[in-house]
Structures are given as structure tokens and as C-alpha cells.
Amino acid sequence: MSDFTIAIIGLGYVGLPLAVEFGKKYPTIGFDINAARINELKSGKDSTLEVEGDELKLANHLTYTTALDGIRPANIYIVTVPTPIDDHKRPDLSPLLSASHSVGKVLKKGDIVVYESTVYPGATEEDCVPVLEQESGLTFNKDFFAGYSPERINPGDKEHRVINIKKVTSGSTPETAETVDRLYRSIIQAGTHKASSIKVAEAAKVIENTQRDLNIALINELSIIFNKMGIDTLEVLEAAGTKWNFLPFRPGLVGGHCIGVDPYYLTHKAQQIGYNPEVILAGRRINDSMGGYVAGRTVKLMTKKRIHVVDSNILILGLAFKENCPDLRNTRVTDIIRELKTYNANVDVYDPWVNPEEARHEYGITPIAKPEEGKYDAIIIAVAHHQFRELGEAGIRNFAQPTHVLFDVKQVLPKEKVDARL
């Protein structure tokens, strides 16, 4: 297949940068069910801040649509929808299956469907392909084919972009694998790695973030231990980091759409096949508990300073899941807020990056426009946005009462400038 017409299903943090790169070279159709998102992109704006307006203009073969018929001309369908977890931390494949139903309705003989969404090994062929067959009436690996090429987008990262991150590819037949690899290779400057099967590619993706999750969990647990010993964790890590093979992980909240979610896809599949993944789940429990731990330490420090916690005013600096990025998906800052409210504290959240309407919709949190000077009994630096670094100690303490607690989750300030840090 040399004449590619590509449809990208889902134009979020993953889909849009990919659509832009393909749209510079091939006829590309960006599809999203969110009409407001499509209208925004048509006007040359991207609210995720992943693609600048000038770069959108460079994709002169890219068009946008909310209509299913609009993607019918494609012969390559790339699915980049979210794969979240539900309230019980179980994989929620509904967006993926819904996208598969939609693609199945327009699928034609010879077409290839490539999935980029993070899943457990086997999901593409066992969960998605049957939906494509059902909707299209076509036979897998005879009439149509599938591939899997896991996304490696890092929201807010202006250095590691789609084209300079090596891409893992795979296909349901050797010929399909070669076609998928050739397609991505034509835009990915860093090159590709063709996996031997779709399942291998799926497994590779899910363990990338599981490995990071476990490493951060270890450092978070060490941080708790060192705090009880009266030792500064960052100083320990800097000392240990002088060894050439010591990995530079830091303690913190583990949120976002990947690291805090992907391990549950792997543990779900492991339990399905009769194995209880103890180490992975232990890491998840530690990382999911860190918001409550930060809140608890803050309350203890306030009590030591004889600050009444009930009806106190506490400022949280940052709500996004990471610095210098508006992405609110699976942010664990909400755990700090929730725990503090159990003490009947008044919690204000300030984040110059996030969309207040999205915060209200997703979490019922209304960020304030600007913190009030001299108001707060405690301030927690939860996200290392550059605005908070630029404020420095004096600027941040300016929001506080004369007697207060300053807790630094992200090591924004030196240890001697704060009451506590992770």
C-alpha cells in the first residue's frame, strides 16, 4: 500500500500531534466526537498546548470532521482514544470499543486499523477486532488487518516530540507489520522498532509505565522512611546519584493518563489468567496513598505550630498532574484536597495553567483566579509550574499568615526555605 489516506480517531494529547505530522505528508482526516474540539482546531487553536498555531498551519493535508462519513475515504485508521480506569481501578475499554464500532461502520476491504491506546496484551485482537468484524461484516486478516503502535507522548514536553521518539510498531500479518512500520518510519525521525507481534507491542507499552511507577513507589516509600528518621530524602538521592548506575527518580504524586493508570491494565490481565501481581499492586498502593500522606504531614505540622486546622485556610499551588502543562487527567492533587477537607479546612486551589471549567466538570473544584495576600495558614506546593518557581520563597510566603506551614511536594525551594518537603 503506497497511497495512504489516514484517519486519526481522537484528537487529544496523542491524536493531534500525530495527525499534524501525518498531515504534512499524506491526506489525513482528524476525527473527534467533540464538536467544540473540532471547531477549535479548525480555527487554528489547540487548548492542550501540544501543538502551536503555526505548526497546525504546516499540516496542509489535514482536515477535521465530526462526521463518520468524513473518514470513509481512509484506508488507514489510527485509534488514539483514552483508555482510563473506572472507580474500582478496572480497565475501562468503553472509549476504545466505541471507536472500534465507529471505524467498523466505514471499514472496507484492504483497510488497516492501528491502535495506539494503552491496553493489556491481547486487547487489540481479542476485544477490538471482533467489534470491527461485527460492524463491518468483514473477516480479520482476510478482508482487513490490524496493527498496534503504542503512543509515547509526554504532555507538556517540548523536547521529546512525536517525530523524535522511537516508535514501536506491529501488525497482524508480516505484510501488515511491514506496511505499518513503513508508514510510521516515513514521519518518525528517531526510527522505529518492529515488534514480532501485536501482543509484544502491547506488552512493551504497558510495562514502560509500570516500570516507572514501581521505581517512583520505591522512592516514595524511602521518603516516608527517611522522614521518620529525620533525614532529607533529596539529599540522600543526590548522594546516591553520584554512582553511575543509580536511577534518578524523585518522590511525588503519580498521576496523569499513563503512569498512574497503565499498571492496572497489566494487573487486570494478570488476575484474569490466574496470577496475583503482588509487587505491581504494592507499588500502586504506595503511590495512590501519597496525597493523603502529604495532607496528614501538613496537618501535623500545623498542629505543632498550634494552628487550628478546623476552619483554617490552606492554599494548594497547582492542580495539573505535572508541571507547565494544563493536563488534569488523573491528577492526584485531588487526594490532598479531599483529605484536607475531612479536617474541615477551607482549601483554595490556584493553577494558572488549567482550564477552570474543566476542573469544575472533572473534579468539582473551582480554582481561584489569584491567591489572597496574608490569608493562608498553610501552603502546599503541589506542582512545579515555572510561575511558582519564579515567585520564590518570599512570593509564596506573601500569601500566608505570619504563622503558617509551607510544604513543598516538588522540591521547588531549598530545604531550609520550607517547613517540609517530600
> Residue 211 and residue 213: Cα distance in Å, rounded?
5
Contact between residue 177 and residue 194 where contact means Cβ atoms under 8 Å apart:
yes
> Residue 350 and residue 356: Cα distance in Å, rounded?
10
Phi-psi domain of 339 (left: phi exceeds 0; alpha: psi -120 through 50; beta: other): alpha
Question: How much of the chain is in helix, strand and coil states, percent to nearest 5?
Answer: 40, 15, 45
Using alpha carbons, list the distances in angstroms from residue 74 to 31, 71, 81, 124, 232: 11, 6, 18, 20, 56
> Residue 308 and residue 229: Cα distance in Å, rounded?
26
The closest alpha carbon to 290, from 257, 258, 338, belongs to 338
Per-position DSSP letters for 35-69, written without gaps between them: HHHHHHHHTT--TTSSS-HHHHHH-TTEEEES-GG
Contact between residue 355 and residue 47 where contact means Cβ atoms under 8 Å apart:
yes
Contact between residue 77 and residue 7 where contact means Cβ atoms under 8 Å apart:
yes
| Helix (H/G/I), strand (E/B), else coil: 92 | coil
User: For residue 19, how many C-alpha atoms fall within 13 Å in the half-sphere facing its CB?
Assistant: 30
Using alpha carbons, list the distances in angstroms from residue 275 to 210, 262, 272, 362: 17, 17, 7, 34
Give catalytic residues, as residue numbers.
258
